[in-house]
Amino acid sequence: MGGTLRKFFEAGARIRLVMFSDGAEGYGTPGDKGLIIQRRQLETETVCRILGIEQYYNLHGLDWSLSVNNATYRQVIHHIRSFKPDVVFTHAPTDYNDHQSVSKVTTEGWFHAALPCAMETEKVWHLVPLYEFEVIKSMLQPTHVVDITDTFDAKMKAMESYNSQKGIVGSIFQLMKGRAMERGYLIGVKYGEAFIRSNYQPRGIKCVETLLEKS
């Protein structure tokens, strides 16, 4: 969702990025094993500058070992309550590998950040919209598509900054461009990014008139 992040930045938003692992397994040759964490850290800092991400945190989890557990759940609650966001984004639950765990624990933490749970970490923060984005596996029925035609170049430049991953992720640029064109097609623009608004917590509607206005 790099194009959308850049649009938020250009609109004056403050953005906090929370990553769940150091990416220690993301190396292509044995000789890179001892250098990959530092290298990926520097790459991510470059990406933050390109996309306008003001705050970046890493929870230092282990690849292939991320899970929904008490410690990670409380970390999510902490970041939501301390940053007080207007909107939260996470991986789609149908994506692959560790992305599924990240989606699950983020959704649980987001939901409970608005409830009197884990009260030792800041005051509750009201429930804000939670959106899921796609990475590898395509969403079947996105609820929202953002026009990123004017920020697509920044999205691609950010991905190019991950030099350590170019020999690992294959034809990622082909996938990114093709999907952006596909999503843009859905709303009549050149490039787009798709999202699904989470219904984990349904939105309350108090009267029929309000329902009709939203339809």
Confidence of residue 54 (pLDDT cuts 50, 70, 90): very high
Q: Which domain holds residue 96?
A: 2-214
Q: What are 131-143's pLDDT values in tens digits?
A: 999 998 999 999 9
**Of 173 and 30, more confident:** 173
pLDDT for 168 equals 77
Q: Lowest mean pLDDT: which of 3-12, 90-99, 192-201?
A: 90-99
Spatial distance between the Cα atoms of 213 and 211, rounded to a whole number of angstroms: 5
Task: Identify the helix (H) or strand (E) that includes residue 105.
Answer: helix 98-112
Neighbours of 108 (CB within 10 A): 16
Number of domains composing the chain: 1
Assign 190 to helix, strand or coil. Answer: coil
Which of 94, 101, 9 lies closest to 59 in space, CA to CA? 101
Taking only the tens place, the pLDDT of each residue in 114-126 is 999 888 889 999 9
CATH code for the domain of 182: 3.40.50.10320
